[in-house]
């Protein structure tokens, strides 16, 4: 049976090996280290999602695990291979096996590793797994309309802008969140893969 034909495989805990980072299954084992590396006063998730403490982050991880157990998610911790430290997290979300689509989201990276190889390599690994192992036909990204850094990052990896979902989510601070929608489709992946690998080469 092909992997893409096995519905359980899409949410099965998986490890993806890259040049500099490893994406491993996210569990509460990583909570302490992720708390140290992700909870910061100016972090986007702290400011807009009210993730200010270890217990807040614990609830995020538990909800992610629940989604994975339900077959609609798959969760990763970003491990820096040089010192084996947990510096971030990311997720497959809204898995729709019958339509061969999923969303990549919830990517939080330690501020010390912003604008480095980390996000590029994370997306290279997750997109490669999506298109080459799961045989996805479409991968989606939803970005807060006010999160201009993330919008630039998604465009940089080659995703196409599709439109906006207005008042899509009510945030803890009462703000009505608008989403910018981007996607990559299977026919675009080979060229995007080349581009992402070229970006990584420049970090060497």
**What's the rounded mean pLDDT across residues 185-200?**
97
- What's the rounded mean pLDDT across residues 52-63? 95
Instruction: Examine the pLDDT at 3 and tell me if it is beyond 70.
Output: no
| Residue range 102-144, pLDDT digits in tens | 999 999 999 999 989 999 999 999 999 999 999 999 999 999 9
d(CA 14, CA 29) in angstroms, rounded, equals 16
Res 6: pLDDT? 61
Q: How high is the pLDDT of residue 1? A: 41
CATH class given for the domain over 8-203: alpha beta
Q: Is the pLDDT of residue 37 over 80?
A: yes
Residue 163 has pLDDT above 60, yes or no: yes
What does the pLDDT read at residue 44? 82
The pLDDT assigned to 203 comes to: 82
- If one compares 46 and 119, the residue with the highest pLDDT of the two is 119
């Amino acid at each position: 049976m092909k992997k893409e034909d096995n519905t359980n495989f899409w949410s099965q805990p998986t490890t993806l090996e890259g040049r500099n980072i490893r994406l491993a299954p996210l569990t509460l084992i990583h909570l302490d280290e992720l708390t140290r590396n992700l909870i910061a006063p100016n972090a986007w998730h702290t400011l807009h999602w009210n993730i200010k403490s270890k217990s807040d982050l614990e609830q995020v991880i538990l909800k992610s695990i629940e989604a994975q157990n339900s077959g609609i998610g798959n969760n990763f911790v970003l491990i820096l291979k040089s010192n084996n430290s947990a510096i971030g997290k990311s997720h497959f979300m809204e898995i729709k096996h019958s339509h061969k689509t999923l969303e990549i989201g919830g990517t939080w990276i330690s501020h010390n590793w912003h604008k480095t190889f980390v996000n590029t390599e994370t997306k290279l690994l997750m997109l490669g797994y999506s298109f080459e192992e799961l045989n996805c036909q479409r991968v989606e990204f939803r970005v807060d309309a006010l999160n201009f850094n993330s919008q630039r990052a998604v465009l940089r990896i080659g995703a196409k802008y599709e439109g906006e979902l207005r008042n899509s989510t009510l945030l803890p601070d009462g703000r009505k969140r608008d989403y910018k929608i981007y996607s990559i489709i299977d026919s675009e992946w080979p060229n995007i893969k080349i581009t992402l690998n070229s970006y990584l080469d420049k970090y060497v």
